[in-house]
Amino acid sequence: MSLFAIPRRDLIVLALFSLVVLAMPIWLQPLGAAYPALMQKFVISAVFAIGFNILFGLTGYLSFGHAAFLGVGSYTAVWSFKLLTMDALPAMVFAVIVSGLFALIIGYLCLRRSGIYFSILTLAFAQMCYNLAYSVLTPITNGETSLQLTLSDPRVIDSALAPRGAGLPSAGLFGHAFSGLEGFYFCAVVLIIAFFVAQKIFSSPFGMMLRAIKSNQTRMNYTGFNTRPYALTAFVISGMYAGLAGALFAITDPLAGTERMQWTASGEVVLMTILGGVGTLVGPVIGAWLIEYFENIFSAFNEQILHRVFSWVPEGAQDVVVTIVSKFVGEGWQLTLGLLFMLVVIFMPGGVMEGVRRIASLFNRPPRRDPGAMRVQPAE
């Protein structure tokens, strides 16, 4: 029971988080983002960011190569679909295990250094993995054309249970193929479970030890405490989260390409975590949702849409407004993201969650006491 026991405050946070995630088709509708494929990206990116935050947020180790584990998870899941079954659970289990083993090897080597040297090592390993997947390991990864399902795939478990269909199968659960919102809700449940596990890690003695490593690892080493096993465990758990996210990408779209292992994907999860709030539980999720929204909604804005948005502006000034705003949307959406990131880093170094705490503190301030009320009255 203690494994699933959770303090009341954490239980409230988990309940509110679950409600927000499961209600995404409702509250994303006014924002123009209530599409099953896009909502799947929202929740999968959140899983990726939560896992990265366990390493970066708790231990302070900044990895620039986490996209390697994302790619490994995707390739493992697709091979599970090709060789065994289209069921999502075995694909997720294999992806988490293989990514964890891969993270154990890379983490063991990279954690011999800290600081910027650790970051550069992880980036170097990720680029090696990307180039291997792109060229050397093409029999396994299919190179630049991506690893995809084919009609000739054995799928031994599915073939033993039921006759093959005419076309390519879809991923599903216990023989039921996902379609539309079903795929989103499956990923949403996985996100909620991943969030709960992160909650347990944050509040556990292990999490406290990781915070101590981040606070002053040198002092811990001087006291004779070996911090490497704890940092390595955090690295492996973080890699397993990334592998899980990669498997979910493959479940919603059964292919795996080298683009998921590029350094830009690693940089993106760093931005997600910093933008939302490093070391917080909800912050990386908010950061992931913001970046996915900018990438998929802002990038779709064109001048025609902007003219409709600013139809209330007088005709003479409308063209000027549209011309200026068009530089920050569409192909220029990254300019808006860059400006937002700069503002957050300069004015709210703790990310969006720091802004939330500042606003909350305005309402939680104790009332000022009247200095005159504390004045001692002279005795009569």
Report the C-alpha gap between 83 and 307 in whole angstroms.
51
CB within 8 Å of 296: residues ≥ 6 apart: 33, 38, 41
Report the C-alpha gap between 160 and 172 in whole angstroms.
17
SS (H, E, C) 223-263: CCCCCHHHHHHHHHHHHHHHHHHHHHHHHHCCEECHHHHCH
Distance in Å from the first CA to the final CA of the chain: 65
How would you label 296-323 residue by residue, b for 16+ Cβ within 10 Å and e otherwise? bbbbebeeeebeeebeeeeeeeeeeebe
Q: Are 132 and 106 in contact (CB under 8 A)?
A: no
Residue 370 confidence (pLDDT): 55
pLDDT above 70 covers a percentage of the chain that reads 94
Q: Which amino acid is present at 193?
A: I
Report the C-alpha gap between 317 and 372 in whole angstroms.
57
Report the C-alpha gap between 75 and 82 in whole angstroms.
11
- Name the one residue in this structure whose structure tokens are 């709210």: 348
pLDDT, tens digit (0-9, with 9 covering 90-100), for 154-172:
888 878 877 776 777 888 8
| Residue 295: both structure tokens together | 């990438």
Q: State whether the Cα torsion 156-161-167-173 is positive or negative.
A: negative
Beta bridge partners of residue 321, listed in sequence order: none
Picking from 352, 50, 310, 357, the residue whose alpha carbon sits closest to that of residue 199 is 50
Report the C-alpha gap between 314 and 240 in whole angstroms.
54
Residue 380 confidence (pLDDT): 44
**For the chain, which ranges sit under pLDDT 50?**
1, 374, 379-380
Residue 317 confidence (pLDDT): 84
Number of other CB atoms surrounding residue 151 within 10 Å: 10
Residue 120 confidence (pLDDT): 94
Backbone angles phi, psi at 104, to 5 degrees: -60, -40
Residue 220 confidence (pLDDT): 80
Please give the angle made by the CA atoms of 272, 241 and 10, to the nearest 5 degrees: 75
Residue 326 confidence (pLDDT): 83
Q: From the CA atom positions of the chain, what is the Rg in Å?
A: 24
Q: Which amino acid is present at 146?
A: S
Q: Which amino acid is present at 45?
A: S
Picking from 296, 201, 239, the residue whose alpha carbon sits closest to that of residue 108 is 239
Beta bridge partners of residue 256, listed in sequence order: 147
Residue 3 confidence (pLDDT): 62
Report the C-alpha gap between 160 and 201 in whole angstroms.
40
pLDDT, tens digit (0-9, with 9 covering 90-100), for 197-251:
999 999 999 999 999 888 887 788 777 788 889 999 999 999 999 999 999 999 9
Beta bridge partners of residue 147, listed in sequence order: 256
